[in-house]
Amino acid sequence: MESYVYKERLGKPVYRSVLSNGVNVFTAPLPSRMVTTEIVLPYGAYEDGEHLGSAHFLEHLLLKGPNRDGVHPVKIPLIAKGVKGNGGTNFFLTKYFFEGLAVDFEIMLKGLLEICTCPLFNEEQLEREKGIILNEAQISASTERFNDWLRKMAYPKYPRLYNSVIGTPESIQRIDMDALQGYIAREFCFSRMMFFAAGGVTHEEHVAFAEDATASATIQSTARGIARKTFPFTLFTENYIDERVSAPELLVCFRSDLNARDSRLLGLAISLLNNTDIGILFSKLRNEHGLVYSVSAGRSSHPLSYCEISTTCAAKDMDRIVDLIWECLEQLMNDAYPDALFTSVMAQREVFFATRDEIATRSRFMTMMRDMWLEDDYEDVDPKNIALSATREEIAEVAKKVFRRDAYGVVKILHPK
């Protein structure tokens, strides 16, 4: 087994080892009395198949025990020590995590592995959980409905991307023990597990505890690996009717699934577009229409990441606004914006990195480590060096990769008449 500095983020090393049983171990040692530890598996709503919501349902149940109080026995001594724990599911990942004092790291890691390898839920617990998840689905129904619709427009050739993470009321009712046990048998294997830790723990400690914990765990072994997923973005223009909106909204979105270097450069491009003294960029939108706009991007290493430009405007002006947005983007891609704007944004980046240690939190490192794992070709780059040495030409090139006229979406969110 080889241990090495896998990447460096925010000026601190991230270590990686692969155990003999196939488990990948990542550690970000930080000067802290606290530590966060996660076990992550590469399955989510995309893998649900006919049982929509199964991955999310299983995440709920694994954290609970067979008793009516719903507390997993592993968590009882940890709760007494002030440890917090939970889980999370998205399209491609499910995670289970504990957060507590570094002196309790070993029992937190072993507790997580026991939760993942020794499920205790029963039929009664399963039926009780259906009510909880049905309520969760009802609360998030409006947001989920829009996100599902947007994926259908952007990725029409990939119906599995339309899966709801929570599931539908009908699919939740259909989930049974066979479906969940099938998930566990298929996905819970060492070659697909990732152990992450950030905080007051060394990589050597993390590896030693992981080896000890997995040596006594009963789990199947499989050669099944982890495949990087990619999804071409389809050109579309559609109306979305939503009674919740008080004024029409326009959303222009672009796929931004980029490597590490380009995602940093895209961040600079977005800073240019969002800068308060934006000069010729978006001045027409602000001056002619008095609009409030925003530009944002999701995690760029995620297969479904996209950059969006959104604004409020009258429905009759939407087509013209799209044309104006493209005029602004063309100026960005053609390196035709004022020097003062570029200087201002680079100065902001310099201030950010001068204070980066203040925001180098455990949660930030956990997110970055998951991104490294998801992206097979994740480059070993220095984010500070990129951000402070980027040229206008480099920013223009990455803007051309993202802001493409042959692959973007226009959504007109309108109130029903």
Q: What is the pLDDT of residues 22-71, one digit of tens each?
A: 899 999 999 889 999 999 988 888 877 778 889 999 999 888 877 766 67
Which residues sit opposite 94 in a β-bridge? 41, 89
Q: What is the pLDDT of residue 377?
A: 46
**CATH hierarchy code of domain 236-414:** 3.30.830.10
pLDDT of residue 278: 58
CATH class of the structural domain 3-215: alpha beta
pLDDT tens, 93-131? 899 999 999 999 999 999 999 888 888 888 888 888 899
Maximum average pLDDT range among 6-15, 108-117, 209-218: 108-117
Q: How far is CA 176 from CA 125, 128, 339, 417, in A?
A: 11, 12, 61, 42
Query: Does residue 359 surpass a pLDDT of 60?
Result: no
For residue range 270-296, list pLDDT tens digits in order. Answer: 888 877 665 566 677 777 777 777 787
Sheet holding 249-255, edge to edge: 236-241, 408-414, 249-255, 306-312, 293-297
- CA 263 vs CA 41, 210, 307, 341: distances in Å: 24, 32, 11, 20
pLDDT value of position 381: 60
Domain boundaries, the chain: 3-215, 236-414
Nearest to 370 by CA among 1, 93, 113, 2: 93
The pLDDT assigned to 252 comes to 93
293-347 pLDDT tens trace: 778 776 566 778 888 888 888 888 899 889 988 988 998 999 988 888 899 888 8
pLDDT of residue 11 exceeding 80, the answer is: no
Whether 236-414 and 3-215 are alike in CATH topology: the answer is: yes
pLDDT, the chain, mean: 83
Q: Which residue has the higher pLDDT, 403 or 13?
A: 403
Question: What span, in angstroms and rounded, lies between the C-alpha atoms of 338 and 85?
Answer: 49
Closest by alpha carbon to 183, among 89, 64, 84, 98? 89
CA-CA distances (angstroms) from residue 409 to 108, 154, 238, 242, 318?
A: 44, 7, 8, 18, 13
Mean pLDDT of all residues in 369-395: 71
pLDDT digits (tens, 9 = 90+) for 149-190: 888 899 998 888 888 888 888 889 999 898 888 888 888 888
pLDDT of residue 9: 58
| Calpha distance 341→268 (Å, rounded) | 11
User: Cα separation of 258 and 243, whole Å?
Assistant: 35
Q: Does the structure show a pLDDT above 60 at 206? A: yes
- 10-14, 84-88, 143-147: segment of lowest average pLDDT: 10-14
Residue 198: the pLDDT is 93
